[in-house]
Amino acid sequence: MSKADESTVSTDVSTATASKTDDDTILSVENVSKHYGGVVALEDVSLSIKENEVLSIVGDNGAGKSTFIKLLSGVIPATSGQFYMRDEETDEMEHIVLESPSMAKRAGIETVFQDMSLSMQHDVASNVFMGREPLKDGISGKLFRRIDREYMEQRSIEALDEIGFEIDPRAITEELSGGQQQAVAVARALISDPRIVILDEPTAEVSVEGSQKILDLIEELQASGKTVIFITHNLQEVFDVADRVAVLRSGNLVAELDNDGTIDREDLVGRMTGAIQ
């Protein structure tokens, strides 16, 4: 990344460190709750997210999945609880503040929400750099604020190639398939070089072929060194790509399971519904 607006990621941190984490933990969620007056959306959730893993968050409607992701993304602040992230230089867990999307981004967390927030009438490169368009070097950029389209197109090609997609950066976004649009949204997240990528129901609006492409994309992200958190209602996708599964029910974290062949669909559904405690 050579442009100023793709600067080194910084974090909002305190000097506090997490008391107990595994060596491979990248993000620690400790006793986090979210209340809306008397309504409890999430209650006392603690979860360690491991570096370079694919973690799936599952649960029925109203289980707290969306709330949990919005907290990690800085869209809403937690009512109580703390977040810690492993510092790349010191290798220690440091307290981070996630009270706005910009804070989450500075901490190295990027989220692709279900609606993707793409501008369908614009081209691919414009969507990848939406809101952070690079300016040309020299006087044309500094004085006349001219956008560096050549850089945008080249960097878009590179970001898409990182996740296994070849898409013309000048293509109009609405003319792409659902899977390609999802790839553009992920590429937009990747240009800031995040450590954690969150995907919210990434296969919900795409074809079967597009869904497989997105599952391949998740594996590509992991292969490139990213930690991936994804939310899905499709349990087969969980078994296909997740390393671990976190089950939410009624705002509570009720299970953390390794996807090592010891769990099946009936077991997972039972934990989601409460049939298995």
Tokens of 220: 């590509």
CB 98 within 8 A of CB 106: no
Give yes or no for residue 245 having a pLDDT over 70. yes
pLDDT digits (tens, 9 = 90+) for 107-130: 999 999 988 889 999 999 999 999
Give the pLDDT of residue 21.
57
- The residues that bridge with 231 in the sheet, in sequence order, are 57, 200
Phi, psi values for residue 177, rounded to 5°: -75, 165
Tokens of 260: 């090592």
CB proximity list for 231: less than 8 A, separation 6 or greater: 56, 57, 58, 65, 66, 69, 198, 199, 200, 201
Give the pLDDT of residue 22.
63
CB atoms within 10 A of CB 103: 18
CB atoms within 10 A of CB 92: 12
- What integer best gives the mean pLDDT of the chain? 89
- Nearest 5°: the CA angle 101, 198, 5 is 50
Helix (H, G, I), strand (E, B) or coil at 183: helix
H/E stretch holding 27 reads strand 25-36
pLDDT digits (tens, 9 = 90+) for 260-272: 999 999 999 999 9
Give yes or no for residue 1 having a pLDDT over 50. no
CB proximity list for 105: less than 8 A, separation 6 or greater: 9, 74, 192, 194
CA distances from 127 to 101, 160, 162, 189, 272 (A): 18, 12, 17, 11, 36
pLDDT digits (tens, 9 = 90+) for 183-211: 999 999 999 899 999 999 988 878 888 88
Rounded CA-CA distance 42/31 in Å is 10
DSSP strands (E only) in 146-226: 196-200
Burial class (CB in 10 A: 0-12, 13-18, 19+), 66: buried
Question: Regarding predicted confidence, which is higher, 212 or 27?
Answer: 27
98 closest CA partner among 111, 82, 87, 113: 82
Give the pLDDT of residue 207.
82
pLDDT digits (tens, 9 = 90+) for 125-160: 999 999 888 888 888 777 878 889 999 999 999 999
Give the pLDDT of residue 238.
95
CB atoms within 10 A of CB 188: 23
Give the pLDDT of residue 6.
42
CB 250 within 8 A of CB 65: no
CB 237 within 8 A of CB 215: yes
**What's the CATH number for 56-74+100-273?**
3.40.50.300
